[in-house]
Amino acid sequence: MDKHEEVLIALRQIIRAIDLHSRKLNKLAGLTGPQLVLMRAIRDSGEVTIRQLSNNTNMSQATATTILDRLEKRGLVVRERSKLDKRKVHAYLTEAGKDLLSKAPLPLQEDFVTRFQQLAEWEQTLLLSSVQRISSMMNAEHLDVAAVLEVGSITGQDN
């Protein structure tokens, strides 16, 4: 087997692992990966604005807002104007959101991050460089994406 075929197989295995985890997450919790990440960020941040959420999750503000819209429709999140500064809107988990989050599996990237951080600095740099090169070779380096391992639409809505 040629090396380029081995690289393509490894990429396909990564995509498949992400897809399987996404399906498991959706089946067990009815959430997408980005929805789970956003809910966890709300829980971990306490009182948090949409801008802070988007910064904390590496999502655009528009993406975070779209995801919050979907979570709010499901009764998992509420948004309230700040009592101190009416220009700010804070997101909070509802009791249903807290309950669902407590039962949801961990995001796939958490296990990855833990393992990646256990690597030596040189190996982290080597992997980063290699993956960035692959991204460039696939003309994907310009795509705006969050640091969330998820297949499909980040908002959970196919367009």
The pLDDT tens digits of the residues spanning 137-149 come to 988 877 766 565 5
- Read off the pLDDT of residues 41-71 as tens digits, 9 standing for 90 and up: 999 988 888 888 888 888 888 889 999 999 9
- Read off the pLDDT of residues 20-34 as tens digits, 9 standing for 90 and up: 888 888 888 888 888
CB atoms closer than 10 angstroms to residue 29: 16
Domains in the chain with CATH codes: 3-137 (1.10.10.10)
Q: What's the residue count for the chain?
A: 159
Question: Which residues on neighbouring strands pair with residue 90, listed in sequence order?
Answer: 49, 80
Q: Distance between terminal CA atoms of the chain?
A: 37
Band of pLDDT at residue 155, cut at 50, 70 and 90: very low
Q: How open is the CA angle 54-77-46, to the nearest 5 degrees?
A: 60
- Read off the pLDDT of residues 73-129 as tens digits, 9 standing for 90 and up: 999 999 988 777 778 888 999 999 999 998 888 777 778 888 999 999 999 999 999
Question: Which residues on neighbouring strands pair with residue 80, listed in sequence order?
Answer: 90
Alpha helices, H only, 30-153: 33-45, 50-57, 61-73, 95-103, 108-117, 121-137
Whether 158 shows a pLDDT value over 50: the answer reads no
Q: Both tokens of residue 49?
A: 């604005």
Alpha carbons 156 and 37: distance in angstroms, whole number: 13
